[in-house]
Chains A and B, each alone.
Chain A
């Protein structure tokens, strides 16, 4: 369930209102470690809360983007594993494949940030359509470079 994995990462801007719940996502683990034992059972419940609120509050489009992001992460990890296990012989090919994944990830993440209604104040000049057009342009450039680099 990759989408769930992504939940705390990219998709909870509108999700939760409980202040305590946010100390529990895994990535901020260093800060919560003292209270870990106390919150151990809470954590599971809160993650479930987050998940359900994510399900309800995120628009279908954004979910689509999140799925794509999760897919890109998966592909990136697979490529990396391949290199670790098998070796990096066609280094150009690996590099362009991996950078395509990373680049596409950040471009999609940017699109997601720009289309997030919460960030409207930050991106006054960028409409949803403009964001998508920029995304397409960026991706075209990215893949042009990758194809050129792949040998």
Chain B
């Protein structure tokens, strides 16, 4: 792609605008093609399958939408999740994604192309990534005059791993369409500010509404646009265009966002939306003052205006704080606090901190996800500072905010990627434009090397010296330097493409439902335990058998096994999750009543000890303990799961609480029978397990998948004779045990006597 772009650069001088336009269309189409095809690794390696966790819910919801129609989707009460509470699904989701695929599905049917809804869901993200590349082209073209910048930005956006991470085929998540909407909304906003047009303002509002319906990250737009307007006002750059574009966006966009039931009254109630409202009010004042200014064109008015702006800002902010304190406006949500204080969630809301994508970003991740863009990015931002038009102010603000947020939360790398692509494309195209210019200066042949640094320096030192130093031609005209720089950039571009392809194929194309490993002979081996277990559930359990598992697997059980779950990835009820955590982390005698009360039929745990699969439940166990401890601090204590030396162990030295916890027992039940006596080995935690495995009395093993990743246990019914399960189990093993103990007792008593 990059090669073609340079071709375009070379051809530019020789071709007419029409040809150039055609070339640009072809290049954009190729970029979109590359963006789509680089996301298909997972489909080719594995199959057309929905990935990970959240996509399974979206997929299930989409199927519901397609089957039952829009209205019943809107009113959908789902009694197969959060048993026994249920979930008002229609009112608690962002419907944009499902509606989009539903519309595509019906459109294709109308065109007599009956495509399976699963394939639409799998391929939606790649398709939208092509559109994102186009939107990035449009956005960048608004920022700079150079035509190559837009194409470069589109190419970067198409293959940057930071975006691919959330948009490979099968990653059917809200972000799949949301990033396109984000970029496109910003493009429309820039267009609206530039032209001062209500039309573009209304379009911005429409796409903003679409964005609100698609992703909770819309708050980023809600705060970025007002911030842009506010900064422009503070810079004394107020113009009627700003008034027209901002007010038309806000008035329409807020109404549009309130149409989504899940958002509802939030835009006027929650603090996150107040900045937009404040800037809206401020703009009314500023517009009014601007009229007044039209009559006194004196310099003092500037300072007056700024003072007024600051005053109103302070007053509005004070009012906001007051209203928040008195409770009229909902206070900031915990997720928001964790944006500012990365330690906040860990202390106050373990459920948020436990999600891996909410962790702070590690430094290497920036380079891993953005490669060379990360060091071109500051150069692009610097270039924006040089001219600093209204739209370049936007780039600067966006860059600063997104960099911060990307550092705080891993998943927000996604919002940083577009602006990194835009800014670094601006810097890169500047280099290319400078060095690919084949023109020669119109000077006598002697001065052709006029830009030589030495001569420029000489000219500065000796202003009236040699004739050749008198009028130095500034610029780069030697082919050697041009070739060097262009060649180096070409190498960088190629390296970038290689890095992106490598990252995409190795890091981001795993469905995580299906695992792949290499056999010693290098061939691929597919580990399909998840689907094996879910299929078992689907075929061997009654349709309404309630499955208890940690919430990570809730959506998958709902989607693949189609069985009711207690908790799932929509973590709306912390107490319910804590209940499950308590059941998992307590002794059997405590857990059993909890499971009976919640009508649990089967318990599902994920165990990676045999295979060395590190994302298993024992590794997540501490979060269950922490979340349970948040609700029942007296009954579950995190400290009890650590040894006296503060280690988290599963081997002989594990604490009694750990060894007696239901999770531990379910994970290691019968595990030692796989090994010779005393050799049982946990390959995730590199620990040798106790020779005597745990014993279960209230639940029984129902199914264990091929590689032991998924283990399913059936909760026993009450005992027929009214005994508790411990004694019943003891009785079943009974005779043997009794005899054994009797034998042991026999000699003892003998010896005593």
Contacts and interface: CB of A to CB of B under 8 A. Distances in A.
- Size bin of chain B's contact surface: 35 or more
A17 B255 contact: no
Given A106-B247, A145-B256, A134 B240 contact: no
A22 B291 CA distance: 10
Interface string A117-148: 01100110110001101110110011001101
B614 interface: no
Given A9-B288, A22-B292, A123 B241 contact: yes
A51 to B, nearest CB: 14
B198 A134 contact: yes
Which secondary structure characterizes the binding site on chain B? helix
Interface string B233-256: 000000111011001101110111
A19 B198 contact: no
B443 interface: no
Given A17-B295, A138-B252, A145-B252, A109 B287 contact: yes
A99 B251 CA distance: 7
A25 interface: yes
A99 B285 CA distance: 18
Contacts of A113: 240, 243-244, 287
Interface in A89-134: 91, 95-96, 99, 102-103, 106-107, 109-111, 113-114, 116, 118-119, 122-123, 125-126, 130-131, 133-134
A148 B199 contact: no
Given A28-B289, A118-B294, A125 B195 contact: yes
A54 B456 CA distance: 62
Interface string A74-85: 000000000000
B295 A149 contact: no
Contacts of A95: 258, 265, 268
B251 A142 contact: yes
A119 B205 contact: no
Contact of B241 (A12, A91, A118, A122): A122
B202 A123 contact: no
B201 to A, nearest CB: 7
Contacts of A146: 255
B197 interface: yes
B304 interface: yes
B752 interface: no
A35 B288 CA distance: 22
A59 B287 CA distance: 20
A27 interface: yes
B356 interface: no
A142 B288 CA distance: 23
B265 A91 contact: yes
Contacts of A103: 251-252, 255
Contacts of B247: 106-107, 109-110
Contacts of A30: 308, 311
Contacts of B288: 8-10, 27
Interface in B208-246: 239-241, 243-244
B658 interface: no
Contacts of A118: 294
A133 B205 CA distance: 17
A67 interface: no
B296 interface: yes
A140 B460 CA distance: 65
- Of A9, A109, A149, the most chain B CB neighbours within 10 A belong to A109
B298 to A, nearest CB: 7
A93 to B, nearest CB: 13
B170 interface: no
Nearest to B258: A149
B265 A19 contact: no
A47 interface: no
A19 B297 CA distance: 8
B323 to A, nearest CB: 15
A130 B196 CA distance: 12
B618 interface: no
B506 interface: no
Contacts of A40: none
A3 interface: no
B547 interface: no
Nearest to A103: B251
Given A107-B247, A107-B248, 20 more contacts: A9-B288, A12-B294, A12-B295, A16-B295, A22-B296, A31-B308, A91-B265, A99-B254, A106-B247, A106-B251, A110-B201, A110-B244, A122-B239, A123-B197, A126-B196, A130-B199, A134-B198, A134-B202, A138-B198, A145-B255
Counting from the closest, the 6 A-B pairs by CB-CB distance are A103-B251, A134-B198, A106-B247, A145-B255, A110-B244, A22-B295
Interface of B: 195-199, 201-202, 205-206, 239-241, 243-244, 247-248, 250-252, 254-256, 258-259, 265, 268, 284-285, 287-289, 291-292, 294-296, 298, 304, 308, 311
